[in-house]
Amino acid sequence: MSWFEKKEDRPKIPPAKALWAICPKCNSHMPKETWRANNSICPKCNYHGRLSARERIAQVADEGTFAEVFREVSYSDHLSFHDATGPYKDKVEATIAKTGETESVVMGTCEISGHKAMLGVMDFAFMGGSLGSGTGERIARACEQAIAEKRPLIIFSASGGARMHEGIVSLMQMAKTSAAIGKLKEAGLPYISVLTDPTTGGVSASYAMLGDINVTEPRALIGFAGRRVIENTIHQKLPADFQSAEYLEKHGFIDKIVERKDLKAFLAKMLGFWGF
């Protein structure tokens, strides 16, 4: 049979992205198995990559102790918002189908090395970890439950800021969550805020910076407005490490930088210090 009548069957070569993980900071290539085995940390530059909410919960909470709450609380499309790429509702529903989550923060009760806690973990894969009405409602309810059950609150933040598809209702969540955390503190319960890469916008301007202890992972991006916006506003060049975890710790905005492998032990130590 002629060559043009039958094509030779050749093995398919998987695309590079299926085989390699690429560090966003130093651009090092490594097998994805190596990246996962190292808890999504670059072995060359120690960059701490992003984790899903479920991955983070598995690393921090004692096995079998995490009980999710408020999963039914989700987004609100009160504006019937559309933009050039389509309806907001369609985007959220597609994100829910892709991630398996129903909001940008997963809340639940758990134990951390035997210490009870209310744990919230934001997932950047859910619309950039944006702060929507459902996100704020979950955090407010978590504060109420923490008070009722006398549990300390821990929130891992990872966000690009307020979800502008929901307009002023999204911005209102900044005040709502801050007030809820204020009630938690009035009840004498501690709040530990863990800022991960990235924590920006309305989240960094509200509950992410209100912890009794604010900690972060190495080299995490933390800030409000972006570097370019600030430079164009003040007409000055910012330091190279501006808005990094190390810069914020040096200037007193962060209490401590903790390696990912040490986070669970650190949180357990803090909870034990408070007597929980």
* Tens digit of each residue's pLDDT (9 = 90 or more) over 95-112: 999 999 999 999 999 999
Give the model's pLDDT for residue 154. 98
Give the model's pLDDT for residue 2. 54
Domains of the chain as residue ranges with CATH:
15-47 (no CATH), 51-273 (3.90.226.10)
Question: How many Å apart are CA 268 and CA 256, to the nearest integer?
Answer: 15
| Residue 82 DSSP symbol | E
Give the model's pLDDT for residue 21. 86
Give the model's pLDDT for residue 36. 86
Long-range contacts: 242-248, Cβ < 8 Å, 24+?
244/219, 244/220, 245/195, 245/216, 245/217, 245/218, 245/219, 245/220, 246/218, 246/219, 248/216, 248/222
Give the model's pLDDT for residue 10. 59
Question: How many Å apart are CA 185 and CA 206, to the nearest integer?
Answer: 15
**Cβ-based neighbour number of residue 128 at 10 Å:** 19
Give the model's pLDDT for residue 17. 57
SS3 253: coil
| pTM check: above 0.85 | yes
**Cβ-based neighbour number of residue 97 at 10 Å:** 8
Residue ranges in the chain modelled with pLDDT below 70? 1-18
| Residue 10 DSSP symbol | -
